[in-house]
Chains A and B, each alone.
Chain A
Amino acid sequence: MDMFRALGTHGPELSPTMGLVLDVLLLGAAFWLLAGQNRRSVHDVVLMATLVLSVSLLRVVMQPLPNIQPVTVACLLVGAQLGARRGAAFAVMVAMLSNFFMGDGWWTLFQAAGWSAVAVFGANFSLVVDGVYNAGRTCLAAVISAFLFGLIVSFSILDGTFGAMEFLLYLVNGLPFDGLHALGNLTFAIWFGAWFSSLLVRQPTIEALEYAVMDSHGIDA
């Protein structure tokens, strides 16, 4: 079967079978990232589901504005507050869900990878230290993330016919739109960074609270 039917500006156009395989791969990756040794609370699951739905919806709604990507800052902060694994899972699910409305294809893989990289970057850039949100570092990271995401998504154009020089020209040509992405990220970070970050602060479970109380009072259970 001809799984890659044709080559396009976003890379190969996917046959239905290959599209299914890609979706299963992405879902599997998200599941693997979320499934850890620790049992997730209902709160965690609901929070993640709400975040994925709302950020996906926001992306779809903001589609008419060229390269304004609210998902990037969201991934950055989810990575910073919930960790790289859950940040990457969030990125994969948002890419899949929003592209279900905006158009699925080969590029979904690269968008998922790009936003996952942003989440990992957010988890390691000290945006939140000891529970304190650092607005300045978040703004800086938001700007850098735009170019990181742009670079990773651009790899989707490579189909064997592009030389290194052509790929470089392709990247350089896209800089004005990467700049717009960065400015959009900066605006989101300035306006909503602190608020969104506070939403993601880990809420302790009842068991954890009881344990903390008992531990601090030295009560022998």
Chain B
Amino acid sequence: MDLRPLILAALILLTLPAVNASAEPVAFDETYTLDWTHDFGGSYITTAPLFVDQQLFVRTSASWGGDNSPTLAAFSLDGEPLWSHTNANSTHHDMAPLLHVSEGEGSCGSWPNMLVVGWSDGQIEARSTEDGALIWAHQSEPTIWGITGAMAVDEDRIVAPTRSGVVALCASNGVLEMEADTGLGWRNGVAIGAEEYFLGDESGVLWGVTRDGVVRSINLGEGKIRHAPLMTTAGLFVQVQGPTSSTVHIIDVDGFTSQSTLRIGASPAVPVMYDSFVLSADSEAIRLFSCAVSCEEVNRVSFRSNGEIGVLGEGQFSLPYNGLERGWGLVNVSSSGDLLLETFTTGADGYATSAPGVLTYEETTYLAFGSDDSVVYVYTSNPTHTVENIEVEQTEFDWFVQGMTFLLFLSLGGAGVQFLRNEGTSVLKFLSIYLLIIALLVVDQVAVQWSHFIEEVTPDADAQDVWDPSWNESWQGTQIVSITIEGELHSVGGLEGYTNAYELTTAACEELGLEIRAESTSLGTYVVAFDGVTGEGWEYTVDGRLATLAADSAMLDAGSIVQWYPVEAR
């Protein structure tokens, strides 16, 4: 039997993933058209419009000098105003996301389909989605502000982060079932855990509160926790916002300890989960973290977004650019962790922080964008497209990857043709190119993993061997960084919880007031300069051993000593 056709078919099958990857993308502008708008006049929209059934709910905030009172308004899908409610007492930032609660019943009674709204005056209201009628209300104690974070549903309870704590209210009648004091919070959403509620505060403290109000906490260092912690399989994902950069902590829920930390940029957005990934953003980039067993940043793309991230569909997200330049980002995350960004513009561009609302109804997808000028823009998909059809287009054409893909096709096709011609040597020729291209594409990652493996199997050096007598004795057992710049030694110790050399060095530079400049490459992040000094390059040791990995790939222990030298000083 002649097996050649069969093998050729197998070779063609191998090319299918690449065919899919090179499919013609359908851009946002080709898919959506502006259907209607509504101008609330003189206020702001700072939290996502919400579609429930065939209605759109929008809340506004009047806290930045606007004339109008903050409003909760309902619209039909074609833009007809249905009902609205204003709260003239709420005079501060109204950015608690709207919470839809489907009708149900529990131990404290039953409730209809309702919308729960938290106001900056401390009021928590449940309103009918049908006509906006008040079902129940609970007044929490405001301290300048009241409710600004995301609320959550815990079976028959509405759990809300108040300004100074957390409350659990009966979903049926709003009766207070649990109240606990934590720290002063702002935009500090609450997460529902198996045993506890979790929320952070403005002092960098993460709180765990059991259903009956028993409180425990962990101080994650100077900073502000301004989102609901995410329950990943690796642990609680918590961002602590610092003045110039922020830190992600992965918290072991059982021990309530920080297992690892990751550095991110300033003013992080409210992160969202997708399978085992976490998507976040900050003033530097949109970042994708893989949090299956431990959390690590697996991809990033340059962007600036500091508010909410909207989930449009499976692996598809949208978030506003916090500036005038780039409108909105449409992000596709593949199951393998690829991150593709397309930017598009709507009328709602410019310093927006609210995520878009999304609804798919009778094969039409509705997207509602709230602007910083208090106008809501509703786009609908063209009949031939649904949201699933949107493919994103990379903002930059990668000639190297495209060229390599072309050569892969060519070499595989050549091998197939030569095989059919019974030209064994020529088959080898084309296959050798195929293998070489694949090797070129993966060598960076293989090299990094290989170096990790080498590090793991080689015995650790003893940190005591590199202890400098001039260091403070209290630094013993903690993480220490020393940097020799133009002959002058800069050292800082007493650092804790940093998992890689780059994070630790960045933190040390902040403590020491040194400027650090780094370069991101496919092999990792390399430090280019300290305080503007580049020299012949910089290298570092971990516990006295010259590092062979990029700084962000070098894993540290609790007592690791990282020492930086200019190359010429070695």
Contacts and interface: CB of A to CB of B under 8 A. Distances in A.
Interface string A98-111: 00000000000000
A161 B570 contact: yes
Interface in B416-466: 425, 428-429, 432-433, 435-436, 439-440, 443, 446-447, 450-451, 454, 458
Interface in A193-217: none
Contacts of B443: 66, 176-177, 180
A9 B567 CA distance: 7
A190 B435 CA distance: 13
B539 interface: yes
Contact of A172 (B425, B440, B454, B537): B454
Nearest to B440: A65
Given A173-B548, A175-B450, A183-B439, A159 B458 contact: no
Contact of B458 (A65, A169, A176, A186): A169
B440 A7 contact: no
A16 interface: no
A166 to B, nearest CB: 6
A66 B440 CA distance: 7
Name the 9 nearest CB pairs between A and B, nearest first.
A6-B568, A187-B432, A176-B447, A173-B548, A176-B446, A8-B567, A187-B436, A190-B432, A180-B443
A159 B570 contact: yes
Contacts of B450: 173, 175-176
Contacts of A183: 432, 435-436, 439
B301 interface: no
7 contacts: A6-B536, A9-B567, A166-B546, A169-B458, A170-B548, A183-B435, A191-B429
Interface in A1-46: 5-9, 13
A6 B537 CA distance: 12
B548 A13 contact: no
B458 A190 contact: no
Interface residues of A, number: 27
Given A13-B536, A176-B446, A176-B447, A8 B568 contact: yes
A179 interface: yes
B545 interface: yes
Interface in A142-161: 159, 161
Nearest to B549: A173
Chain A: interface secondary structure? helix
Contacts of A5: 568
A187 B545 CA distance: 37
Contacts of B436: 68, 183-184, 187
Given A68-B436, A159-B570, A180-B439, 18 more contacts: A6-B567, A7-B570, A8-B536, A8-B537, A8-B568, A8-B570, A66-B443, A166-B545, A176-B446, A176-B450, A183-B432, A183-B435, A183-B439, A187-B433, A190-B425, A190-B429, A191-B429, A191-B433
Contacts, number: 64
Contacts of A169: 454, 458, 548
Contacts of A166: 545-546
A172 B457 CA distance: 12
Interface in B147-172: none
Interface residues of B, number: 25
B401 to A, nearest CB: 13
Nearest to A66: B443
Contacts of B429: 190-191
A198 B332 CA distance: 53
A43 to B, nearest CB: 31
Nearest to A64: B400
B546 A7 contact: no
Contacts of A68: 436, 440
Interface in B545-570: 545-546, 548, 567-568, 570
Contacts of A190: 425, 428-429, 432
A176 B523 CA distance: 13
B567 A7 contact: yes
B432 A191 contact: yes
Contacts of B447: 173, 176-177
Most chain A beta-carbon neighbours within 10 Å: one of B436, B454, B458, B545: B436
A166 B539 CA distance: 15
Contacts of B446: 176
A109 to B, nearest CB: 18
A159 B458 CA distance: 23
A158 B454 CA distance: 20
Interface string A106-141: 000000000000000000000000000000000000
B439 to A, nearest CB: 5
A9 B539 CA distance: 9
A146 B367 CA distance: 57
B454 A9 contact: no
Contacts of B539: 9
Contacts of B458: 169
B451 A173 contact: yes
A7 B568 contact: yes
B411 to A, nearest CB: 10
A173 B435 CA distance: 21
A65 B428 CA distance: 21
A12 to B, nearest CB: 10
A66 B439 CA distance: 10
Interface string B533-546: 00011010000011
B549 to A, nearest CB: 9
Contacts of B570: 7-8, 159, 161
Contacts of B537: 8-9
A190 B434 CA distance: 13
Contacts of A180: 439-440, 443
A191 to B, nearest CB: 6
Contacts of A177: 443, 447
A53 to B, nearest CB: 25
Given A7-B568, A8-B567, A180-B443, A173 B454 contact: yes
Given A9-B537, A65-B440, A177-B443, A186 B568 contact: no
A191 B436 CA distance: 13
Interface in B454-493: 454, 458
Contacts of B536: 6, 8, 13
Contacts of B432: 183, 186-187, 190-191
